[in-house]
A and B are shown apart, each in its own frame.
Chain A
C-alpha cells in the first residue's frame, strides 16, 4: 500500500532580519540591514502509513509547524522531496487539498460573526460538494461532534471547546484521508481535552483517517497516538512507539512498594520520593541501579505485600526531551 506521507531529505531555511535595540541601531538597520539564516528543518526523512496515528512533538521553535506547513504545501522546501498520498504538495496543491484536512489550534477557518452552519455550507462549496452532499456530511459530523445545538449560534459566542469541535468538523467536511492537527487542545480544560481526544480516536477508527498530531500535551500523545516522532533543532531525534518513548528515553522507573514491616533503602541511583508507614515510593535511575537490586534489598528487610513498577509520567518524558534540547544549545 502507498504510504500516506513520505518525506526524504526535507530542508527549510528562513532568513531573519536582525536588529540591535535602540534608535541608533534602527537607523543603521534601515540603511544596512543585517540578516541571519535559521535552519528550521534540517534534512529530515520519515514515512507514515495509512491509518497511523502519529504524535509529532518537540519544544517551541523545534520545527514542528514548519514541517506540517511543508507537508501540506503551505511552504516551499529548500531541498528534499515530499509525497502525500502519492502527490507532490506544491505541484498538486489543489488535488491534495481535496484529500487532506487541517486544524490549526491558533487559526480559524470559521467565520467569526456567522453561525457554523453557514461556514459549513460555504466550505462544502469550496470543496465542490453539492448542497445535498454537504447537508448529509454536516448531519453526520454534527452527530459525531455533538454540535447540533451550536449550528445556529455565531462563532463569536461559542466557548473555545465548542469552537474547536466545530473547527474539527469543518476540517472533515470533505472526508479527508489525512488529518493534520496542530495543537488542537491548546487552552482547553481537562474534560474538553478528553472529549477531543475521544473524537480524534473515533475518526481514526471509523473513517480510517491518518492522524498527524502536534501537541505539547502529554495526555494527547499518550492517549491518542501509537507512534511518536520527536523533533528538536530541526532534526528528528526520536522515532518509535509511544510506549518505547516512555520506557527508553527516560531511563527511570517509579517503584511503589508496600512492605509488611519497616524498611529503608540507601543505594546509589535510588531516591525515596515518599514514605508513609510501611509504604515507599522510589525513583530508580536505571543507568546506576536496577529494579531487581532494589527489590532484593527491600526483601532482605521485610516481606513485600504489594509492588507496582511504572515508567515516568509522560509529562516528565517530554520535559526531559525539552530540557535536553536546551542543554544542546
Chain B
C-alpha cells in the first residue's frame, strides 16, 4: 500500500473509531441521549405546521417555491446540519479550543490537526436533526433512486460546507483573540437563510448568499438540481463547495502559525 493510501485508510479508521467512541460517550447518559434526539426531532417538526399554515394563507407558491420545495430545503438543512454536528461535533467549540490552548493536545498527536479536532466530539442532538431530515425527505418528496442519491450527496456536501464555513470564522480567533460569537452567528446565518426560498433574495443579499454566507451552494442550487437535474450545474456546486472547504483548511493552516497556546486547566468532555 502506498504511503498516501495508507494514511487515508488510517484516517478513515480513526474517523470510524471516533464515531463509535462518541456514540458510546453520548449513550453514557442514555435518558439524556434519547431526550436530546427526540426533542430535536420534535422541535424541528413544529416548523412544518408553520409552513403549512403559511402556504394555506398565501397560496400554492412563494417566489416559485411550493410546499414540497420548501420541505426539501428543510429536509436538506436538517440532515446536512445533523450529519455535520454528529461527525464534526467539535466545530462549535473550535474558538474555545484555540483560545484556551486546548489545541496543544491535538498538535501533539500524529494526525491532521483540524480533522482530529473536529472528529473528536459529537453533538448528540444532531442525531435528532439527521433522523428528522431523512424522515421529512421520505414523507414529502417523490421517491426515486436518483432523488435519493442526489439527496444523500447534497446532505454530505451541506455537512462539509456548513462545517467549513464555521471553521473559517472560528479561525478568526487565531488573529482576533476570540471570534466565537461571530462564528456561531455565521453558522446560524447559513442555516437560517437556507430554510427560505432562495428566489426571495435579490441584489446584495443574493451576492452575500453566494459568498460569505454560501447558502446558495448548499441549498438553493441543489434544490434546483433536485427539481431538474443538470450535470453542468452539479459540477459548479461541487467546485464551489470544494473552494469553500479548501478556504477553511487554508485559514486554519495560516492561523496555526499564529497560535499562542495557553495554560488554562481543562478536561476533554
Contact = CB atoms under 8 A, between A and B. Distances in A.
Interface of A: 14, 17, 65, 69, 72-76, 93-95, 97-98, 100, 102, 104, 106-114, 118, 121-122, 125-128, 154-156
Interface residues of B, number: 33
A74 B261 contact: yes
Contacts of B101: 107
**Which of B29, B108, B109, B111 is packed against the most chain A CB atoms within 10 Å?**
B108
Contact of B105 (A107, A113, A118, A128): A107
A113 B21 CA distance: 11
B56 interface: no
27 contacts: A65-B261, A69-B261, A74-B104, A74-B107, A74-B108, A93-B107, A94-B110, A94-B111, A106-B264, A107-B102, A107-B104, A107-B265, A108-B266, A108-B267, A108-B268, A111-B269, A112-B269, A113-B29, A114-B21, A114-B24, A118-B24, A121-B17, A122-B17, A122-B21, A125-B13, A125-B17, A156-B267
Given A76-B257, A106-B266, 17 more contacts: A69-B104, A74-B107, A75-B259, A93-B107, A93-B110, A102-B108, A107-B102, A107-B105, A108-B267, A108-B268, A110-B267, A111-B25, A113-B269, A114-B25, A154-B28, A155-B267, A156-B267
Interface in B18-46: 18, 21, 24-25, 28-29
B261 A127 contact: no
A97 B109 contact: yes
**Which of A72, A98, A106, A110 is packed against the most chain B CB atoms within 10 Å?**
A106
Contacts of B29: 113
- Interface of B (DSSP majority class): mixed
Given A65-B263, A114-B25, A127 B110 contact: yes
Contacts of A108: 266-268
Given A97-B109, A97-B110, A107-B105, A112 B268 contact: yes
A96 B39 CA distance: 45
B110 A126 contact: yes
Nearest to B14: A125
B105 to A, nearest CB: 5
Contacts of A73: 107-108
A263 B120 CA distance: 71
Contact of A118 (B21, B107, B110, B260): B21
B233 interface: no
Interface string B96-127: 00000111110111110000100000000000
Nearest to B121: A111
A74 B262 CA distance: 11
Nearest to A156: B267
Contact of B268 (A72, A98, A111, A126): A111
Nearest to A65: B263
B18 A74 contact: no
Nearest to A60: B263
B265 A106 contact: yes
Interface in B225-269: 257, 259-261, 263-269
A76 B174 CA distance: 13
Contacts of B259: 74-76
Contacts of A125: 13-14, 17
B10 A128 contact: yes
A122 B108 contact: no
Contacts of A104: 104
A114 B28 contact: yes
